[in-house]
Chain A
C-alpha cells in the first residue's frame, strides 16, 4: 500500500475534478457540434440561387427517369422577415414601455404583479401563445384566424415580456446618480427618462431586443395555428403566410426527397440568421463593458 501525504492526495483530487469537468463540457458540446455539423453538411447542398429565388416545388422523390425540381423557399424567407418585422414592431415598443414603467415609474404591488407575470409569460410554452391568439381571433375576427397578422401577434406576445424584463434590467444598471444629475438641472422627469436614462442603457436594450428577435425567429409552435403556412409568396397581412420554421416542420416530416433536402437548407439558413443576431447582440454587449472600464 502506498502512503500518500495530504498534498499529493489534494493534487490528485484536483486533477480528477478538472478532468471530470472537462469531460462534462465535452459531453455537453457533442450534441451541439453534431447538430451544427449535420445541418451544415446536409443543408449546404441546396443553398444556391434557386434556394433564395424559387418557391417550394411540387413534392417529388427521384425514380428512374424522373429528375426532381429542387425549388426554393423564397416564400418562407419573405414570410419570416415579414413576421419578424411586424412582431418586433408591435412587441418591442410595448415591451420597452413596460420595462420603463417597471424600472423608472412603478411603485408598490402593481410592479411586483407586472414583473411576476412577465416572468411567468417568458416561461410559458410558446404553443400556449399560439393557442391564445388562435382563440382570440376565433372569437373576435374569425375570418383572419390564419393570417400573417395573427402569426405576428402570437410572436409579439412572446416578445413583450422578454423585452420588458431585459430593458428593465438594463435601465436598472444606469446609476441613480445619472438620474439625479439630470433632475438637478431642472429637466422634467419624462425627459430625463427618455433622453438621458434610456440613452445610457441603449446597448443593453438593443441587445435584449435582438435576442428576443432571435428567439421568435425560430418559433414554430405559435405559428402552426396562426400563420399556418403558404405555398406561394404572400405579403398580405390578412392571408396565411409561410415561415422558415414551418417549412422545416412540414418538409422534414414529409416523405418527399426534395422537400427533405429543402428542410435541411432552411435549417441551415435559420441557424445562420440566429447566429448573426446573437453575435450582433454579443458585440453590442461587449462594447458596453468596454465603455464602462474607460469611465471607471
Chain B
C-alpha cells in the first residue's frame, strides 16, 4: 500500500537558518499520525512544508519533494495543493469580520461559489463533522470570534473541512484549550480519520498516545524515529527518543 502523503528528503530554511534537515516520512491514508518533539525542533515547519505554507514566510525556502498520491506538490500550483491539504493552527484564528456561517463558507465563497443552497449544505455538514453544529445552529449569524476558545478551534476545523480536503494538518490544535475542549477535539480527530488522513503536531505525548496510530519524534530539525505509537512509547529504538518520552529533557 502506498502512502497518501510523503515527505522525501525535505529540508527547510528561514533565511540562512536551517529549520529541518533531510526529512523523509510517510503518512498512510485514513490514519492519524502524530509528530512530537521539544519546542523549536521543526515539527511545525515540517507540516507547513506539506501544504506549501512554509514558502509564504519571507525569505523561507524548501528543498526536497512532498508527494501527495505519488505526485510532487512542489510541481503543482500551491493554491490547488492547499485545497487538498487543509490545516488547523495552534491558536484558533477565525476571520474576525465574518460570522460563524461566513467563516465556514469562506473557502468556497472566496473561490467563487455563490449558490446559497450549496453553501448551506456545506456549512451544515462541516459544522456537524467538527461536532459544533448543535452548539451554534441557532447563532450562525454571530461573529465567529464571539464563540468560546474551544468552539472557535472547532469552527476553524469546520472551516478547514468545508472545501473537502483529503489531508488535514493540525499544528498543536489543543495547546490553547482547557482539558474539556481538548477532549472534544481529540474525539473529533478520532472520527475524522475515517474520511481524512490526519497529521497532528503536538507537545503533549499523552495526546499523541491517545489519538495517533503512528508517531514520529523530531529533535533539532532531524527526524529521530518513526513507528507505531505504542511501539515508540514502550520500546523506543533510539536513546534520544527514550530520554524525551521519559522526560529527561524537552
Contacts and interface: CB of A to CB of B under 8 A. Distances in A.
B80 A186 contact: yes
Contacts of B83: 185-186
A20 interface: no
B107 interface: yes
A182 B87 contact: no
Interface in A5-45: none
Contacts, number: 80
Nearest to A174: B96
Interface string B55-88: 0101000000000000000000001111110110
Size band of the interface chain A makes with B: 20 to 34
Interface stretch (A77-85, A127-135, A196-204, A222-230): A196-204
B49 to A, nearest CB: 13
Nearest to A177: B93
A295 interface: yes
Nearest to A183: B56
Contacts of B106: 182, 185, 187, 196
Size band of the interface chain B makes with A: 20 to 34
Given A178-B95, A295-B145, A186 B89 contact: no
B97 interface: yes
Contacts of B87: 184
B160 A184 contact: yes
B37 interface: no
Given A180-B89, A183-B53, A183-B56, A200 B82 contact: no
B107 A181 contact: no
A256 B103 CA distance: 64
B146 interface: yes
A107 interface: yes
Interface string B96-113: 110000000011001100
A188 B96 contact: no
Contact of A186 (B107, B143, B156): B107
Interface of B: 51, 53, 56, 58, 79-84, 86-87, 89, 91, 93-97, 106-107, 110-111, 143, 145-146, 156, 159-160, 162-163
